[in-house]
Chain A
Amino acid sequence: MLTVCPYFHVHQPYRVKKYRVFDIGNDTEYFNDSSETDLNNRRIIEKVAEKSYRPTNKILKQLLDTHPEFRFNLSFSGTALDQFEAYAPDVLESFQELVATGRVEILADTYHHSLAFFYSVPEFKRQVQKHERRIKQLFGVKPRVFRNTELSYRNDLAKWCEDNGYLGIMAEGWDKYLGWRSPNYVYRPAGCSKIKVLLKNYKLSDDIAFRFGNKEWPDYPLSADTYASWIHAHHGDGQTVNLFMDYESFGEHQWEDTGIFEFLKVLPEMVMRHPDTSFKTATETVQAYDAAGEYDVPDILTWADTDRDLTAWTGNDIQRDAIAATYKMEEAVMKTRKRDIIENWRKLQTSDHFYYMCTKWSNDGDVHAYFSPYQSPYDAYIAFMNALSDLQLRVSHAVAQREQKELQKQESAVSEKAEQTPAQNHYPDNAHIPDETDTQEVSQPEHEQEAEESRWWNKLANKLPFFKSPV
């Protein structure tokens, strides 16, 4: 018995536009680039939808329809889902159709594709909860297996997941921690007693994600037949082959002309041609097999580069400076209780921003240059820091306003000798999410509200309920 557990990660960040020093204090739209460059988020979504999401989902749906045994997992960042909703709603619908088959499992994740776990566990928890609500709202399911941004993992993250009721968690199957052992078994994270960890088979995963279209690769061109035989070779020395990769491998990282779509179309059939080989979702996999041993990862492990660590995000001074400046704002940001401020702050936590600042291989150019919409890591840093500076201004302004309001409230409460509740400016782990409780507070800037009210039809509409405004 050998099962295959594929998981495709769907993500798009909100890229920061070329935000200049002069914009600080004057422009709160950090992500609305409308140029012909790759900083234009709408343009990217439309491009990748055409190249990857639409054709791949079509194939996946056909595969699910023709092969009742075929199943796989998807993980979404909330920032991708929001952008599909805004710029390509049909893509979102096609994902909903896949999940509606009941054979596509959605994994838990942070909403903003952040590295929050390593900087602020309370903020991390809020993002995971926000993600869970969004998945429930869009797909009607509750994730039970966790995967973290860039497959980042550590023993304490597994423990957190266990404590929060998850059945499984995903990680890189890295030789340093596996030793002589195979990634094709289910393991128990060190320090945990219930949760199981699914390990990425990086050899077989990267054959598709990175090597598939590489003409220098000895196995190019790779047929689904050959690839399936590599999977079948694990009969007898493993239980599950975990194929984890970016969803965008199909059509975006590996272009259509590499033959990736033809490969995908026949892969399930080739895999299942061998008797006793089938597909499982993540939950099915962790439930089907007992832990074969312990997986002990005391330091951060990711799926990136040959180092499998966080150095692509936090390896140089500008990256560390930007990420520290971002998380330093947490307390003040949460104190504002303003939804737009909190949301902008979280969009700036998306790991991609820090990846764009990577200089690790800038001397010989590499995969990082390909994935960055900026001309240089320094341009990325400057745009980010300028936007963050503007956010800092807004936060201090909002905090001052709030403190004044609370002071007034307290004064009037004291004068009325009414019972008084203390101002809540610290959020315990399980507190209600402030941007949900307090959404109405700043949905619009004040001057816009005034303009809205002063329009003649609004006055009329207030008096005549049946009146329709001309816009």
Chain B
Amino acid sequence: MRVLTFGWEFPPQKNGGLGVACYGLTRELLRDGVEVIFVLPKTQETAGDARFLFADDERLVKVLHTDVSIKPYMQGDSTVDVIVGYDSEGKPIIRSRTIIEEAHRFAHQAAIIAKTEEFDVIHAHDWTSYLAGVAAKIASGKPLILHVHATSFDQAAGNNVDPSIFKIEKEAFAMADKVVTVSEYTKNIVVNKHESPAEKVEVVYNGCDMEETTQLPPTLAELKRQGKKIVLYHGRISIQKGVDHFIRAARKVVDTDSDVIFIISGSGDMLTQIIEQVGAAGLSDNVKFAGALWDEERDQMYQSADLMVMPSVSEPFGLVPLEALQHGTASIVTKQSGVAEVLTHALKVDFWDVDEMANQILSGLRYPVVRQQMVNEGREQMKSMSWVTAAQKIKQLYRSLIQYVTT
């Protein structure tokens, strides 16, 4: 069985949950005997054993090298600078393109790839690859699975949904043979907002790799010495992530206990607004901005925090609480998240219920036993959330579609 997969990002590049998910799933599919051809929009280093194709490869498009810094979480009309070619002197020719133009270009290349490669089924991850998936289906007649890691509704937190992205999602879902979502939460959006028939949509929860974590030297040692308690936010700072609600909860927490320090790790389009909110709330002493932390610095912060909060307004899955658990830190997650469906051992709150969020932060800090138990049992539960299980379900889907379509 061979699958032609389209994705937008892939490790070891630093990116969000999408690349991590594509990597985990691909790895286990390969191990399970599925041949994976993974197509990415631009040349990059890649991890793992899949066969990679790059849409900007010379044989496909007349571009020697592109330096596209496309981020999948951008709005459709945001622009990216793309090297489209080189002039006679060898200098790059740079043009600005919108991300939607890039997605269309990716689709055009996908059609070419689909005509040259041999495969049984097409699998496209996230909205930036949906058009590529659809184009490949039209070019080859093979069945198509669209894998929803996020929707335009999540990114807009319900308001001001980008109509051009929504249009791509809705039309692509209609063209797909199966739509896979990473949670029941996201399935509900796809069924209710995009009006996909419920029987067409399958939930396949993300997995999580249990890694051996090394104990790093604690960060924020001075704060801890002073008896301060650390509450961490780690993620993009955007409307979807609910950081503004988190700051409102922080105000209520500090009213009761001024020894709590909130660390914001991440960056994003809402950063300035959040900094202003912190100032206006008089929280400058208690809220610290750490910038976007990666790798060891991020792990250090996970290990040093007493509690992690994921205040998302709309979160299709949410990997951060599981990462925090690996580093021995318990989480508060919103009920508007996919991870809340699979992780029993976390405190759960509605994103708008700032009072309860503050209560859970204070209670979590007050009773160490509850944090320890959530970590112990949560880590145990994580063992059942492997990519092996997810890959098995995906393989099952491939098989059912191949049987159905082959005549």
Residues in A lying within 8 Å of B, measured CB to CB: 20-22, 316-318, 321, 359, 362-363, 375-376, 378-379, 381-382, 385-386, 389
Contact = CB atoms under 8 A, between A and B. Distances in A.
Interface string B354-377: 011011101100110110111011
B331 to A, nearest CB: 11
Given A317-B373, A359-B377, A381 B367 contact: yes
18 contacts: A20-B359, A20-B363, A21-B358, A22-B252, A22-B355, A22-B359, A317-B373, A318-B370, A359-B377, A362-B345, A376-B344, A376-B347, A378-B345, A378-B346, A381-B367, A381-B370, A382-B367, A389-B366
B381 interface: yes
Contacts of A363: 344, 381, 384
Interface in B315-371: 344-348, 355-356, 358-360, 362-363, 366-367, 369-370
A379 B381 CA distance: 19
A359 B367 contact: no
Contact residues of B: prevailing secondary structure: helix
A317 B359 contact: no
A359 B373 contact: yes
Contacts of A316: 373, 377
B256 interface: yes
Contacts of B372: 317
A54 to B, nearest CB: 36
B367 A21 contact: no
B343 to A, nearest CB: 10
A381 B371 CA distance: 11
B347 A378 contact: yes
A347 to B, nearest CB: 20
Given A317-B373, A385-B367, A389-B366, 10 more contacts: A21-B256, A21-B358, A21-B362, A317-B376, A359-B377, A362-B345, A378-B345, A378-B346, A382-B363, A385-B370
Nearest to A19: B359
Nearest to A375: B348
Given A321-B369, A363-B381, A382-B370, A21 B363 contact: yes
A22 B255 CA distance: 10
B370 A378 contact: yes
Nearest to A389: B366
Given A362-B344, A363-B344, A318 B373 contact: yes
Nearest to B347: A378
Contacts of A382: 347, 359-360, 363, 367, 370
A382 B361 CA distance: 11
Contacts of B366: 21, 385, 389
Contacts of A386: 363
Contacts of B358: 21-22
B355 A20 contact: yes
A373 to B, nearest CB: 16
B369 A318 contact: yes
B188 to A, nearest CB: 19
A403 to B, nearest CB: 27
A436 to B, nearest CB: 34
Contacts of A381: 367, 370
A89 to B, nearest CB: 36
Contacts of B359: 20-22, 382
B348 A376 contact: yes
Nearest to B359: A20
A374 to B, nearest CB: 11
Contacts of A385: 363, 366-367, 370
A270 B23 CA distance: 66
A362 B346 CA distance: 12
A22 B370 CA distance: 18
